[in-house]
């Protein structure tokens, strides 16, 4: 099935030509990490609606996912992260009229991030590049997991200039298992390539001073997914990020601006709330 | 519809790796590297100029690393100027080398240490 809006070309153009780049948005990796010996806890609560299921059950799915992510800074440029998503999924099988509720863990993941390049040109401005890689573990409950070890690797560039920031990430996941008609984008039997772009604009303060202890950012994200079976999905959405000295709060929304998906349900909307703590 | 030529993208990443590594290794120029830098600072305060502290949450990494050094009683970050002002306890044995190490561990770039 194919969904397309005229925004896509404009958004791609904006992302490619943005002259200045930054911090970490909700659904896009960044070349940032906690300092050596520090911990970083991130909790996200997501609501996702899936529809237009091509599978025999023609499911309409409302899913809530609570993802816990814990990162430890091993050195200034190397960190390790563990992710554990827990999902509650309400699935309306429109073919039979049955309703099913799924609850359990999705696939957990463990990964390393290594930042070999960092160029800090002023008190605020910075350009960084990091590589990351890891594996998704077969911890998913029933239909909430792929029941396979799925390695992934990628690179992310972060650039910050004044009030502007840009993160661009590209990653590849080798799916060694997975089910047809599964409802987790990027987690089916075919391999997956993700391209995540995030632009951040610091709404306040306009300039940093000695008194500033927090900042608020507008985020715009374009999250692309290509599955080697041929599925393509681009989600776009705004968000807000509030960062204090030891914690951050975030909220974002994502809607499809281009979707050409034939063998799994389409993503209709993603709403995310989250917080992060550095300790 | 193919948006990505995967083998081409992978080749590009692999080919760019040596350049990235070489560039990254060139970024960390130590501003503290003389024997005198291991001598305790004979002042009650010092100011470090740090680059790359682009957000409040990022900047707190510097506080945490500096305050973990025995003898530093406070650390105040001015993200606008990159100035991190520390107060030293009387009789502390904190050295410039320790300050540089702390900023290094925090993941940012130390450009200068000013001692009044």
pLDDT digits (tens, 9 = 90+) for A110-162: 999 999 999 999 999 999 999 999 999 999 988 899 999 999 999 999 999 99
CA distance A55 to A164: 43
- pLDDT confidence of residue A171: 97
Instruction: State the pLDDT at residue A143.
Output: 86
- DSSP E strands in B1-116: the ranges are 45-51, 72-78, 83-88, 109-114
Q: Average pLDDT for residues A63-86, to the nearest whole number?
A: 96
pLDDT in tens, A77-92: 999 999 999 999 999 9
Where residue A19 falls among pLDDT bands split at 50, 70, 90?
very low
Could you tell me if A1 lies within 8 Å of chain B, comparing CB atoms?
A: no
| Whole-complex ipTM | 0.81
What does the block give as tokens for A252?
Answer: 């974002």
How far away is chain B from the Cα of A78, in angstroms, using its nearest Cα?
10
- B-chain residues within 8 Å CB-CB of A216? none
Question: How many angstroms separate the CA atoms of B49 and B64, rounded?
Answer: 16
CA–CA–CA angle B22, B23, B25 (5° rounding): 65
How far from B111 is each of A99, A223, B30, CA to CA, in Å?
Answer: 62, 36, 8
SS (H, E, C) chain A: CEEECCHHHHHHHHHHHCCCCCCCCCCCCCCCCCCCCCEEEEEEEEEEEEECCCCCCCEEEEEEEEEEEEEEEEECCEEEEEEEEEEEEEEEECCCCEEEEEEEECCCEEEEEEEEEEEECCCCCEEEEEEEEEEECCCCCHHHCCCCCEEEEEEEEEEEECCEEEEEEEEEECCCCCCCCCCCCCCCCCCEEEEEEEEEEEEECCCCCCCCCCEEEEEEEEEEEEECCCCEEEEEEEEEEEECCCEEEEEEEEEEEEEECCCCCEEEEEEEEEEEEEC
The pLDDT confidence band at residue A13, using thresholds 50, 70 and 90, is: very low
Rounded CA separation A165/A275 (Å): 20
* Per-residue pLDDT, A57: 83
How does pLDDT run across A192-239, given as a tens digit for each residue?
A: 999 999 999 999 999 998 889 899 999 999 999 999 999 999 999 999
The alpha-carbon gap from B20 to the nearest alpha carbon of chain A, in Å, equals 6
Determine the residue among A21, A35, A173, A276 to mutate to test chain B binding: the one whose Cβ has the most chain B Cβ atoms within 10 Å: A35
CB spacing of A36 vs B105 below 8 angstroms: yes
Contacts with B82 from chain A: Cβ below 8 Å: 122-124
Burial of A109 (0-12, 13-18, 19+ CB in 10 A): buried
Cis amide linkage into residue A179, ω under 30° from 0: no
Taking an 8 Å cut-off on Cβ atoms, the answer to whether B50 and A123 are in contact is: yes
Instruction: Report how far apart, in Å, the C-alpha atoms of B14 and of each of A131, A154, B19 are.
Output: 11, 11, 10
> Looking at the complex, does the CB of residue A230 fall below 8 Å from at least one CB of chain B?
yes
Residues of chain B with pLDDT below 50 are: 1-4, 20-26
pLDDT on residue A177: 87
Cα–Cα distance measured from residue A39 to residue A72, given in angstroms and rounded to the nearest whole number? 5
Report residue B59 as tokens.
């900047």
pTM over 0.90: no
Asked if A116's CB is within 8 angstroms of B20's CB, the reply is: yes
Distance (Å, whole) CA A5 – CA A235: 11
Mean pLDDT of the A180-201 span: 91
- pLDDT of residue A6 exceeding 70: no
């Amino acid at each position: 099935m194919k969904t397309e809006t005229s925004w896509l070309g404009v958004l791609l153009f904006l992302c490619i030509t943005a002259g200045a780049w930054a911090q970490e948005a909700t659904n896009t990796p960044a070349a940032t990490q906690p300092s050596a010996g520090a911990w970083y806890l991130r909790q996200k609560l997501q609501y996702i609606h899936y529809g237009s299921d091509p599978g025999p059950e023609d499911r309409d799915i409302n899913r809530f996912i609570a993802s816990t992510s814990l990162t430890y800074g091993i050195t200034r440029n190397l960190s390790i992260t563990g992710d554990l998503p827990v999902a509650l999924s309400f699935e309306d099988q429109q073919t039979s009229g049955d309703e099913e509720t799924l609850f359990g863990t999705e696939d957990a993941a463990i990964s390393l991030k290594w930042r070999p390049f960092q160029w800090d040109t002023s008190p605020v401005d910075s350009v960084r590049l990091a590589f990351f890689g890891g594996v998704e573990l077969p911890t998913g409950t029933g239909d909430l997991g792929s029941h396979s070890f799925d390695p992934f690797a990628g690179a992310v560039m972060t650039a910050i200039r004044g009030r502007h920031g840009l993160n661009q990430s590209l990653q590849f996941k080798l799916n060694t298992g997975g089910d047809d008609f599964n409802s987790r984008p990027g987690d089916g039997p075919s391999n997956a390539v993700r391209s995540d772009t995030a632009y951040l604009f610091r709404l306040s303060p306009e300039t940093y001073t000695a008194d500033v202890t927090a900042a608020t950012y507008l985020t715009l994200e374009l999250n692309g997914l290509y599955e080697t079976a041929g599925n393509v999905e681009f989600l776009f959405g705004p968000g807000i990020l509030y960062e204090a000295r030891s914690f951050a709060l975030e909220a974002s929304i994502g809607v499809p601006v281009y979707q050409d998906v034939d063998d799994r349900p389409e993503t209709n909307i993603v709403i995310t709330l989250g917080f992060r703590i550095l300790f | 519809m193919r948006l990505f030529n995967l083998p081409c993208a992978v080749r590009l990443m692999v080919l760019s790796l040596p350049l990235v590594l070489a560039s990254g290794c060139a970024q960390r120029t130590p501003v503290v590297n003389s024997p005198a830098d291991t001598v305790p600072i004979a002042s009650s305060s010092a100011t470090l100029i740090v680059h790359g502290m682009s957000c409040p949450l990022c900047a707190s990494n510097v506080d945490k690393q500096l305050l973990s050094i025995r003898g530093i009683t406070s650390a105040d970050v001015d993200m606008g100027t990159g100035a991190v002002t520390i107060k030293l306890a009387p009789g502390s044995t904190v050295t410039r080398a320790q300050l540089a190490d702390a900023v290094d561990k925090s993941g940012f770039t130390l450009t200068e240490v000013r001692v009044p």
